[in-house]
Amino acid sequence: MLDLTGRTALVTGSTRGIGAAIALGLARAGARVAINGRSDDTVAAAVTKLSEDLSTDGFIAAPGDVTAKDGTRSVLAEVGAVDVLVNNLGIFGARPALEIDDDEWRRYFEVNVLAAARLTREVLPGMIGRDWGRVLNIASDSALAIPAEMIHYGMSKTALLAVSRGFAKEAAGTGVTVNSVIAGPTHTSGVEDFVYQLVDPKLPWDEAQREFMRTHRPLSLLQRFIEPEEIANMVVYLSSPLASATTGAAVRVDGGYVDSIVP
C-alpha cells in the first residue's frame, strides 16, 4: 500500500541528511524523485550516490535556488508535474535574541517559510486539477518549544505550521492533502561533533548521545537522536494512499520531546 509508482516527487534540500533520506524512502516506494540543491555538482553527486544505494535510475537532478523566484521556476521546469512536494529546505543557527537584526529575521522567514509557500502555491493548482497530491512541510519541535538561543528559527517553523494548515484548507474537498512533520532532535552531519563538545569524548556514540539527551534534552522520551530514516518513514507514509484522511495536521516525529499530548 505504500506504493507511489507513477508519481513524481520533489524534495528540496535533498542532497544530504533528512532530505536525502526522504528522497531514498520515496524512491523505494516507487516514486520518481527530483533531488534539489543549489549546486549542480552537489546535486549530481547526490543523484549518483542515491542511484547506487537503490540500484535505480529513478532519481533526477533538479538543481536551483528555491528561495528565489527564478530558481523555483527553473527547478519546476526540470521536474514537470509534481505529485508529492516535500519542503525540506531549512536553515538554523544559534543567536542571542537581542542580536538578531532585521536582515536575519527576513532571511529565516524567506528560506524557511516563503520558499515553501511559493513552491506550494506553484504546484497546488495542478494537484487539485488532477485530484491527487501530497504537500509535506518539514517543521521542528522548535515550532512548539521555542529555543531561547534561536527564536528566529522557532518563529519560522511555527509559521510553517500555519502555512500548512492554511494550504490544506485551500485543497479542502479534493484528493490533495497538506501536512507538516514536526521533527525532533535528529542525527545529521555535525551533530556528533556538537555532542562531543558537551559530553565525554571517550564515550562510544550510543552512550554519548544518551548522556547528551539525559543532560541537555531531558524531555525526550526516546533518549537518543532520531535517525533521518525515521523522519523519512513518516513522510513516505503521509505521501502514500494510506494517509488519504490525514490533512491539515502537524504530525510529530519528535521522540516525545515536546511535552504535550497534542501538537
Q: Which residues are catalytic?
A: 153
Comparing CA positions, the residue from 83, 77, 86, 74 lying closest to residue 116 is: 86
Ramachandran quadrant class, 216 (left: phi over 0; alpha: psi -120 to 50; beta: rest): alpha
3-class secondary structure, 263: coil
Determine the 3-state secondary structure of 24 from DSSP.
Answer: helix
Backbone angles phi, psi at 21, to 5 degrees: -65, -40
CA–CA gap between residue 34 and residue 8 (Å, rounded): 8
Neighbours of 121 (CB within 10 A): 12
DSSP string, 94-150: ---GGG--HHHHHHHHIIIIIHHHHHHHHHHHHHHHHT-EEEEEEEEGGGTS--TT-
Closest of 25, 20, 11 to residue 45, by C-alpha = 20
The C-alpha cell that represents 216 in the structure block: 541537555
